A and B are shown apart, each in its own frame.
Chain A
Amino acid sequence: MKLLTHNLLSSHVRGVGTRGFPLRLQATEVRINPVEFNPDFVARMIPKVEWAALVQAADTLNLAEVPKEPTEGYEHDETFLRKMHHVLLEVDVLEGTLQCPESGRLFPISRGIPNMLLNDEETET
Chain B
Amino acid sequence: MLYTIHNTYDDIENKVVADLGCGCGVLSIGASMLGAGLCVGFDIDEDALEIFNRSVEEFELTNVDMIQCDVCSLSNRMSKLFDTVIMNPPFGTKNNKGTDMAFLKTALEMARTAVYSLHKSSTREHIQKKAAEWKVKIEIIAELRYDLPALYNFHKKKTVSFPIVACVHSVFKSFAIVLSTLAWVNRKPA
Distance of A2 Cα from B74 Cα, bound (Å): 20
Distance of A89 Cα from B61 Cα, bound (Å): 12
User: When the two chains form their complex, are residues A40 and B14 in contact, meaning their CB atoms are under 8 A apart?
Assistant: yes
Distance of A5 Cα from B66 Cα, bound (Å): 9
Distance of A33 Cα from B60 Cα, bound (Å): 10
User: When the two chains form their complex, are residues B75 and A41 in contact, meaning their CB atoms are under 8 A apart?
Assistant: no
CB closest chain-B residue, reference A116: B69
Q: Known A8-B78, A12-B74, A113-B53; judge A2-B16 contact (CB<8 A).
A: no
Distance of A114 Cα from B42 Cα, bound (Å): 10
Contacts of B46 in A (CB 8 A): 115
Please give the number of chain A residues whose Cβ is less than 8 angstroms from any Cβ of chain B in the complex. 30
Q: Distance in Å from the Cβ of A81 to the closest Cβ of chain B?
A: 13
B49's contact among A1, A9, A36, A113, by CB below 8 Å, is which? A113
Distance of A12 Cα from B124 Cα, bound (Å): 31
Interface residues of A in 87-125 (CB under 8 A from B): 89, 111-118, 123-124
A117's contact among B14, B65, B66, B69, by CB below 8 Å, is which? B69
Contacts of B69 in A (CB 8 A): 115-117
Distance of A2 Cα from B32 Cα, bound (Å): 15
B70's contact among A9, A41, A114, A117, by CB below 8 Å, is which? A117
A12's contact among B14, B44, B75, by CB below 8 Å, is which? B75
Interface flag for A71 (CB, 8 Å):
no
Interface flag for A64 (CB, 8 Å):
no
Interface residues of B in 60-92 (CB under 8 A from A): 62-63, 65-70, 73-75, 77-78, 81
Encode contact with A along B143-158: 1 for CB under 8 Å, 0 otherwise.
0000000000000000
User: When the two chains form their complex, are residues A38 and B37 in contact, meaning their CB atoms are under 8 A apart?
Assistant: yes
Interface flag for B38 (CB, 8 Å):
yes
Contacts of A5 in B (CB 8 A): 38, 40, 65, 67
Beyond the given pairs A113-B68, A118-B73, 16 more chain A to chain B contacts, judged by CB atoms under 8 angstroms and listed by A's residue number, are: A5-B67, A8-B78, A10-B77, A10-B78, A12-B77, A33-B62, A48-B81, A111-B53, A112-B53, A113-B49, A113-B66, A113-B67, A115-B46, A117-B44, A117-B69, A118-B70
* A to B CB contacts below 8 Å, 15 in the list: A1-B67, A5-B67, A12-B74, A20-B77, A34-B62, A35-B63, A38-B37, A41-B37, A48-B81, A111-B50, A113-B67, A113-B68, A114-B67, A115-B69, A116-B68
- A residues with a Cβ closer than 8 A to B are 1-2, 4-5, 8-10, 12, 20, 33-36, 38, 40-41, 44-45, 48, 89, 111-118, 123-124
